[in-house]
A and B are shown apart, each in its own frame.
Chain A
């Protein structure tokens, strides 16, 4: 005798519901324990019955009417639906994302194959090119030296090469999306909830469909996970930056008879560059935040050591690898901030 029998009786759905066949669905512990005691159905309504009225959920309704789907049927339905479209999705997505695997494998190969005495100077040159600050170069040199000294250099380089590839792709994909959003209000209205979702959806949740879609041994699995998570700030800030460009400057551009393309590349993007660079900085930081989670789907690098630390409670291993990630974050943040400051200084000049 279930609580919600009356609904189905009133609606005349008794026939549709049919009789409960015992043993057709897995029995829960509660059912097992209830089964042992003799039940007295029409003993009147007691207070504890009222107190314990179940919420009319799918499972509660199923008790009254076996034909009504249970919650587990719903989750299974979602799974089946996904599996049904999986093959079709795969045909499209697999070749489309293949370059990501090549890029990641290539970057990892380079990071393994290059000896440290080439790698470190190259990274220092890159730092100098981006920041033009010798103090920062000195700091990066010390940090890389420290990571090398404690034998974490190779792990750090693996992590760094994954971040380079993913962050670069985020910028390549994110900036055009951001520009398109700034041009089209409807697109913006569609994209913002998607971006919100990408940012708030627990990262593990989209790892599951990714595991179904792609072979788990391929690098793009974690590449996609990182990109989906890290692309959000660069898209948002590009959109914002271009929308914030002074209307008067745009009008002046129109007055000079600039074409749309000239306006975009000559006026809007340069003026939005500080915001875009802030987005790039955030994107790099967020891809770094994903390395540990990406290691769960076999991304190499410092994240693996953090996971080992967690699994075996090797406190030292975990803390040192965590420190390595923090150091990488500080370097990347300082270098991109320095580049951002240069961009700001440069874009301030024509505004005199």
Chain B
């Protein structure tokens, strides 16, 4: 019995043999697919390359930023949609938190979408004017964000600006992101009309061919007003590419400059991530398995993120 315990204790102690130079790092794991994969990839690189003891903290956009503000934790927050968490800009101005990287090198996508088969049948549906002239072609309903999402405020103002009420377009306010995604999936599988908001890169946009509705040019001033709940003059503006960041606490950046460099290098293109999410969906894989899949398939990309020491350690894992 004693021997068993000894062996168990030894095997536990043997694992983090090179942990002394990095220490403990907490990484937020957001509650959606892409962020979860990014967290897992980050965890792998930190643990295996830099010898960190990583704790993944299940979190969500607002909770993560509030926790950053109140508790200076977690150390790293990957895939933060800043539009949904304006508090971060204050933290950055105060110097408490820092932007490490634009985690999607080409920005996140927010838009209003219609499925491709509708546009193929009725080309005019590719623009908002065409849709509002024929609301019945898209089902007469706009699928709006759930209450509490950043996009809800902007959408509500855009709905006023486009004057949906007088054009016979009804608005359906979803209760959660899950029903919104389910609405797109079921409409697409039955080839039924759909018109609504979604964001990417996500498995939904990776899997279904949705066409972004042309909502006119982007106007920074109008969009800024649209993003406030009490915007006096809601105007027409399309969504810009959304900034999606990896954020770290300033303390962490000072404490672990080497790991901070790694985190700053972790970026994905939207297309890569959409493909990865579609692969995950098709194979019923967990986030961890999707992370492993990414790591095995894109070795050349992520090897350049790590410094030489770490790259050598990581290369040993992949024969």
Contact = CB atoms under 8 A, between A and B. Distances in A.
B293 interface: yes
B291 A29 contact: yes
B289 A26 contact: yes
B283 A26 contact: yes
A323 interface: no
B42 to A, nearest CB: 13
B296 A313 contact: no
Contacts of A297: 175-176, 179
A298 B289 contact: no
B292 A307 contact: no
Q: Is the interface of B mostly helix, strand, loop or mixed?
A: helix
B175 A32 contact: no
Interface in A57-115: 72, 75-76
Interface in B280-295: 283-286, 288-293, 295
Contact of A296 (B10, B178, B283, B318): B178
Interface stretch (B112-120, B146-154, B234-242): B146-154
A56 interface: no
Contact of A76 (B62, B147, B284, B286): B284
A300 B147 CA distance: 10
B66 interface: yes
B11 A72 contact: no
Contacts of A299: 175
A118 interface: no
Interface string B66-96: 1000000000000000000000000000000
B288 to A, nearest CB: 5
Contacts of B148: 307-312
Given A216-B179, A217-B141, A217-B183, A46 B7 contact: yes
B280 to A, nearest CB: 8
B209 interface: no
Contact of B172 (A217, A305, A308): A217
A27 interface: yes
B230 to A, nearest CB: 15
A307 B146 contact: yes
B220 interface: no
A265 interface: no
A36 B319 contact: yes
Interface size class of A (residues with CB under 8 A): 35 or more
Contacts of A25: 283
B175 A304 contact: yes
Contact of B173 (A27, A211, A298): A298
Contacts of A308: 147-148
Given A28-B289, A29-B291, A32-B292, A313 B316 contact: no
Contacts of B172: 217, 298
B178 A211 contact: yes
B8 interface: yes
Contact of B44 (A29, A36, A294): A29
A309 B66 CA distance: 13
A308 B319 CA distance: 49
A294 B296 CA distance: 42
Nearest to A31: B292
Chain A CB count within 10 A is highest, among B6, B147, B176, for B147
A262 interface: no
Chain B CB count within 10 A is highest, among A296, A309, A310, for A296
B7 A47 contact: yes
Interface in A174-193: none
Interface in A211-232: 211-212, 215-217, 222
A75 B286 CA distance: 13
Nearest to B3: A47
Contacts of B317: 32-33, 35-36
A36 B317 CA distance: 4
A216 B183 contact: yes
A309 B147 CA distance: 9
A311 B62 contact: yes
Contacts of B63: 313
A305 B147 CA distance: 8
A26 B4 contact: no
B176 A296 contact: yes
B207 interface: no
A31 to B, nearest CB: 8
A55 interface: no
A295 interface: yes
B176 A26 contact: no
Contacts of B175: 222, 294-299, 304, 307
Nearest 3 CB-CB pairings of A with B: A311-B148, A26-B289, A298-B175
Interface of B: 3-4, 6-8, 10-11, 40, 44, 48, 60, 62-63, 66, 141, 143, 146-149, 172-176, 178-179, 182-183, 186, 283-286, 288-293, 295-296, 316-319
11 contacts: A50-B4, A212-B182, A216-B179, A216-B182, A217-B141, A298-B172, A298-B179, A307-B146, A307-B148, A309-B148, A312-B62
